[in-house]
Amino acid sequence: MILTGGTVVSSLDPVQIARHDVHVANGRVAADGGAERRDCSGCLVVPGNVCAHTHLYSALARGMPYDLAPPENFLQILQRIWWRLDRALDEESVRASALVGGMEALLSGTTTLVDHHASPNAIDGSLDVIEDALRSLGIRSVLCYETSDRDGPERAQAGVAENRRFIERVLREKPPLVRGLVGAHASFTLSDETLAACAAAASELEVGLHVHAAEDAVDELDSVALHGIGAVARLAHAGALDGRTLLAHGVHLDDEEIGLVHAASSTLAHNARSNMNNAVGRAGLGALGLRVALGTDGIGSDMFEESRAAFFRLREDHSGAGADWPLARLSQGARLVGAAFDEQHLGRIETGAPADLVVLDYATPAPLHAGSFPGHWVFGLGSRHVRDVMVDGEWVVLDRRLTRTDAQELAMGARAQAERLWMRLADIGPHEFEPKGGRR
């Protein structure tokens, strides 16, 4: 395959742009070769976007009925919404949510999803179901199961076992499009024993832990009350904080914990829209110098939209922040995924890199070069410009349509599953789990 005539953004951090053809062979960007041509004149060719933290299972939750008292804080949001929804999930709704979530990701130019999955009544094999659904679309992913003690010790053990089983298999089989991390919910729903089991699995399998950390004050307060240290310090003491660790949110990290994250070179997935939606507070990311990537926390997977929201939120506190900030964050997400796949060039369009790229049909109204591109990203470009998407050298979206499957058909199947899911949900009450360290 040769992509001809486009303006190629070969790197997001630092931004590098040139006009040249892109050759693709054997799933990778190549120096030359290819026979089939795709005209990209007037288009931008950019690295595929990475969503560094999402929950595909929330795809069927859009607009679902809610007739309990309105939640007044983050813990109640979990107890009354998400911990009811996850208990209502079965294999078919997990599959349907992965299919429509993956479909929407590709159509918005996201080529990799880092997912964090919970289905306490359908744990065993759930990661295979998601893998299978995402493979059928041709999207890349890094999966994990959300281990937690909130539904009892058996389910905590089953969560660890599901992570182990899945990761052992993907490390053995090395499927082209999927890898695993060890997933855990958050310090405030993890016993010492379960946290130790997660840390041991991550260490033995040589993968990272993917865990919510200090998303809300409740996580920090609980850890301080029970263990005398903050949630991230607790992870560090458990041996779960290293260069492979992916921490989601980090809104309430204290100075000591910021130092720990920095020293461990862990990645922090920032989810600006979710933080606003759940009123958990404002992550102080501007001056930290941490390795920050961008996630959606399940609010779709449009990284143009997320980039913009994160940027404007940042600018409220730091009016001098540059428009290249979200690009560097996306690049960090790609580095994290590249590490999981042992592909250090992932996220770049250069010889040898996995061919994950997006063709944007963008009639630029102002000069476009390396210096101006960040401004175009924040103030102009969007998923509406996504024309074609390639993952691992294969076109999975062409002319705004999925190549492997019919989007309307997928959506129809999802709607049927959503109706059943919502009916089951109506019979599930608020979750009774309370943090042992008390609540704010």
Residue ranges that bind Zn ion, judged by CB under 5 A: 248, 297
- Residue 142 or 378 with smaller CB distance to Zn ion: 142
The residue type of 165 is R
* Least gap, CB of 67 to Zn ion (angstroms): 25
Cβ contact 293:275 at 8 Å = no
Per-residue tokens: 263: 């020293």
12 three-state secondary structure:
strand
- Of 49, 59, 52, which is closest to residue 299 (Cα–Cα)? 59
CA dihedral for 414, 415, 420, 421, sign (positive or negative): positive
**Total Cβ atoms within 10 A of residue 22:** 24
- Residue 52 or 248 with smaller CB distance to Zn ion: 248
- Residue 7 or 271 with smaller CB distance to Zn ion: 271
* Least gap, CB of 408 to Zn ion (angstroms): 29
Query: Which residues does 388 contact at the CB level (< 8 Å), separation at least 6?
Result: 38, 40, 358, 359, 395, 397, 398, 399
Q: How far is CA 282 from the centre of its chain?
A: 19
- Residue 248 or 327 with smaller CB distance to Zn ion: 248
Cβ contact 241:264 at 8 Å = yes
* Least gap, CB of 285 to Zn ion (angstroms): 16
182 three-state secondary structure:
strand
Question: DSSP state, 56?
Answer: G
Distance CA 129, CA 313 (A): 36
Q: What angle do CA 233, 226, 280 make, to 5 degrees?
A: 65
* Least gap, CB of 114 to Zn ion (angstroms): 10
* Least gap, CB of 55 to Zn ion (angstroms): 6
Cβ contact 185:433 at 8 Å = no
* Least gap, CB of 147 to Zn ion (angstroms): 14
* Least gap, CB of 343 to Zn ion (angstroms): 25
- Residue 46 or 269 with smaller CB distance to Zn ion: 269
* Least gap, CB of 246 to Zn ion (angstroms): 11
Q: Which residues pair with 401 in a beta bridge?
A: 398
- Residue 23 or 55 with smaller CB distance to Zn ion: 55
* Least gap, CB of 74 to Zn ion (angstroms): 12
Please give the residue whose beta carbon sits closest to Zn ion in the complex: 297
- Residue 277 or 344 with smaller CB distance to Zn ion: 277
- Residue 56 or 360 with smaller CB distance to Zn ion: 56
- Residue 56 or 134 with smaller CB distance to Zn ion: 56
**Total Cβ atoms within 10 A of residue 429:** 10
398 three-state secondary structure:
strand
418 three-state secondary structure:
helix
Distance CA 286, CA 317 (A): 8
The residue type of 420 is R
Distance CA 124, CA 120 (A): 9
* Least gap, CB of 54 to Zn ion (angstroms): 8
- Residue 82 or 362 with smaller CB distance to Zn ion: 82
